[in-house]
Amino acid sequence: MDFLRPTTWADALAAKADRPGALPVQGGTDVMVEINFAARRPEALLDLNPVRELAGWDVVDGRLRVGAGVPYARVIDELGGPLPGLAQASRTVGSPQIRNRGSVGGNLGAASPAGDAHPPLLAGDAVIEVESAARGVRMIPAAGFYLGVKRSALEPDELIRAFWAAPATGPQYFSKVGTRNAMVIAVCSFAIALHPAERRVGTGLGSAAPTPRRATAAEEFLAGELDWERRGPLADSAARRFGELVREAAAPIDDVRGTAGYRAHALSVMARRTLTWAWNDHRAGATGREAP
Ligand SMILES: Cc1cc2nc3c(=O)[nH]c(=O)nc-3n(C[C@H](O)[C@H](O)[C@H](O)COP(=O)(O)OP(=O)(O)OC[C@H]3O[C@@H](n4cnc5c(N)ncnc54)[C@H](O)[C@@H]3O)c2cc1C
């Protein structure tokens, strides 16, 4: 197996164009497991760790551009303020070792329906920046990025450069059910983001369908139901209906981690619960940004 080690983004794109079969590796927390278990035998590994362009984040025209190689530990430490939902999700990923190595870009590359970064990226309207040497940059909204189980819109000659997201303007929450408290793949997960300026709600469901997905009917229902103007109390009936609509948006399966019925139920509970937390924060005047 060849080992390619570009040191610049341009060289990485050239290497991927030259060898579309080369498998990118960032933290390696998915890739190395697959290789160790002989589930994958790529012709070459394309190590992206030396590519400095992937390792940082920036604010461009008021939006965050977060390099694909930024690990969860840094999302937690550095981006908890502007991206609280993603930071909460990052805290639930694996162990400290996995959070030090594993990256949001790797989660996107793997495109597992159970990946923890996906629900907050969906709820926060993130856009994925991908690039190829031949066709240049494509900006793919998260909602259009996931195409099937572990399949994404990424073409064989493309690499993920970054994701873009607006800093939170309202409360964001992430909730995950696992078979135990830590080091666990989600049985199912849910993210909510309130966008008060636009009187809009974002959602993201994980481990609840072949791909991570939004619950658009639930979002639309809630946007019309919430008393944005006076920040009035949340009606129980509205929270319940929101939970039902989230459950209806899911298409879960039975597997080793849980049954479809349990997942559907848990999603409606998480939806109600996170909505209650988020709306209470909004009523209390919180911007949604966590203390750094
Ligand atoms: C013990 C353990 C616990 C875990 N717990 C969790 C968990 O709780 N939640 C969770 O979501 N995941 C978990 N994972 C899975 C894994 O840690 C995450 O999916 C992580 O985000 C992968 O990031 P990485 O940088 O290690 O990716 P890598 O393993 O390097 O790559 C993952 C995939 O993305 C591709 N890729 C990487 N970078 C790019 C790029 N720039 N452009 C294009 N493709 C790219 C790779 O080719 C590969 O297909 C766990 C893994 C282990 C081993």
In the chain, where does the domain assigned CATH 3.30.390.50 lie? 172-284
- Give the pLDDT score at 289: 59
pTM comes to 0.97
Q: Which helix (H) or strand (E) holds 165?
A: strand 159-165
Q: Topology of 172-284 in CATH?
A: Enolase-like; domain 1 (3.30.390)
Other CB atoms within 10 Å distance of the CB of residue 195: 20
In the chain, where does the domain assigned CATH 3.30.465.10 lie? 2-110+126-165
Examine the pLDDT at 197 and tell me if it is beyond 80.
Answer: yes
Q: Which atom of ligand 1 is nearest to the CA of 23?
A: 47
Q: Which atom of ligand 1 is nearest to the CA of 95?
A: 3
- Distance (angstroms) between ligand 1 centre and the Cα of 124 equals 21
Average pLDDT, the chain: 96
- Does the Cβ of 109 fall within 6 Å of ligand 1? yes
- Does the Cβ of 31 fall within 6 Å of ligand 1? yes
- Give the pLDDT score at 291: 45
What is the pLDDT averaged over residues 207-221?
A: 97
Among 81-85, 118-122, 180-184, 246-250, the least confident range: 180-184
Return the DSSP state at 53: G
2-110+126-165: CATH class:
alpha beta
- Distance (angstroms) between ligand 1 centre and the Cα of 111 equals 9
Distance CA 23, CA 18 (A): 12
Q: Which atom of ligand 1 is nearest to the CA of 110?
A: 33
- Does the Cβ of 25 fall within 6 Å of ligand 1? yes
Q: Which atom of ligand 1 is nearest to the CA of 107?
A: 21
Distance CA 11, CA 42 (A): 20
Residue 290's pLDDT band (boundaries 50, 70, 90)?
low
- Give the pLDDT score at 109: 98
Question: Nearest CA to 49 among 14, 111, 84, 7?
Answer: 7
pLDDT digits (tens, 9 = 90+) for 35-57: 999 999 999 999 999 999 999 99
